[in-house]
C-alpha cells in the first residue's frame, strides 16, 4: 500500500506541522516515508509545497511524478490548483475554501471555486472560520489535517491523533487538546460530506 501526498499552501499557514504529524504517525507505524520540501518552507507569504510519500514497500524517490499524487492537501485553494498536474486521475483534493489573497493579481474567487468544483474529487471547507468558531484560529491546519484523515487510508485517525499528542506535548496539555479538538472537527466535517 502507498500514499503519495502533495502538501501546499502559503508560508506561515502550518504546512510543516501537518507534514511533521503525518511523518510521526508513519514512523511510529513502521511505514516507509520520504519527504521533499520543494519550495520556500520558511518564506512567510510565499508558496509552500512538500512531497510526502508513504508506503509499506521501499520508496526509491522522494519526489512525486506528475499525474501520480493520490492526495493534495492544501491550506489555500489557488495553491491546490497550482499542483493539479501532479494529481492522479482518481486522486482527491482536500483544501480550504477561503483564499489568502497575498498577490495583486489573485484570480477571481468565483472562477477559482468553479475550477475546484469541476474536479472529480474535492473536499473543501472554510477551515479558518471553523478554527475561529472553535476559539482556536491558529489551528486551521489541524482542521484541514482532520478533513484529509479519511483519505490517508495508510494511516488511521487514531494514529494521527496520537502523533498530534506527541508533536504538541512540549507545548502543554491545553495546546494538545485544542489541536485534537480542531483535528476531530475536521474529521467530522469530512465524514459528513
Confidence of residue 142 (pLDDT cuts 50, 70, 90): very high
pTM of the model: 0.92
Confidence of residue 48 (pLDDT cuts 50, 70, 90): confident
Determine the pLDDT at residue 145.
98
What does residue 114 show for φ and ψ, rounded to 5 degrees?
A: -65, -40
Q: Which CATH superfamily is domain 2-191 in?
A: Pyruvate-ferredoxin oxidoreductase, PFOR, domain III (3.40.920.10)
Counting residues of the chain whose pLDDT is more than 70, the rounded percentage is 93
SS3 content of the chain, % helix, strand, coil (to 5): 45, 25, 30
156-175 pLDDT, tens digit per residue, is 999 999 999 999 999 999 99
93-131 pLDDT, tens digit per residue, is 999 998 876 677 777 888 888 999 999 999 999 999 999
Averaged over 179-191, what is the pLDDT? 94
DSSP string, 31-69: -EEEEEEEE-TT-TTSEEEEEEEEESS----SSPPTT-E
d(Cα 112, Cα 97) in Å, to the nearest integer? 9
Residue 43 above 60 pLDDT?
A: no
Amino acid at each position: 500500500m502507498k500514499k503519495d501526498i502533495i502538501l501546499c499552501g502559503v508560508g506561515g499557514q502550518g504546512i510543516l506541522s501537518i507534514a511533521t504529524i503525518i511523518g510521526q504517525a508513519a514512523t511510529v507505524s513502521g511505514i516507509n516515508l520520504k519527504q521533499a520540501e520543494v519550495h520556500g518552507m520558511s518564506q512567510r507569504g510565499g508558496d509552500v509545497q512538500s512531497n510526502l510519500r508513504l508506503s509499506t514497500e521501499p520508496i526509491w524517490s522522494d519526489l512525486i511524478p506528475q499525474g501520480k499524487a493520490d492526495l493534495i492537501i492544501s491550506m489555500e485553494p489557488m495553491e491546490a490548483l497550482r499542483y493539479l498536474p501532479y494529481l492522479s486521475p482518481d486522486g482527491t483534493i482536500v483544501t480550504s475554501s477561503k483564499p489568502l489573497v497575498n498577490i495583486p493579481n489573485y484570480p477571481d474567487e468565483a472562477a477559482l471555486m468553479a475550477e475546484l468544483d469541476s474536479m472529480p474529487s474535492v473536499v473543501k471547507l472554510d477551515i479558518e472560520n471553523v478554527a475561529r468558531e472553535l476559539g482556536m484560529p491558529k489551528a486551521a491546519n489541524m482542521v484541514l489535517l482532520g478533513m484529509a484523515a479519511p483519505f490517508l487510508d495508510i494511516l488511521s485517525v487514531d494514529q494521527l491523533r496520537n502523533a498530534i499528542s506527541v508533536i504538541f506535548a512540549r507545548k502543554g496539555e491545553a495546546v494538545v487538546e485544542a489541536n485534537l479538538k480542531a483535528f476531530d472537527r475536521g474529521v467530522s466535517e469530512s465524514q459528513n460530506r
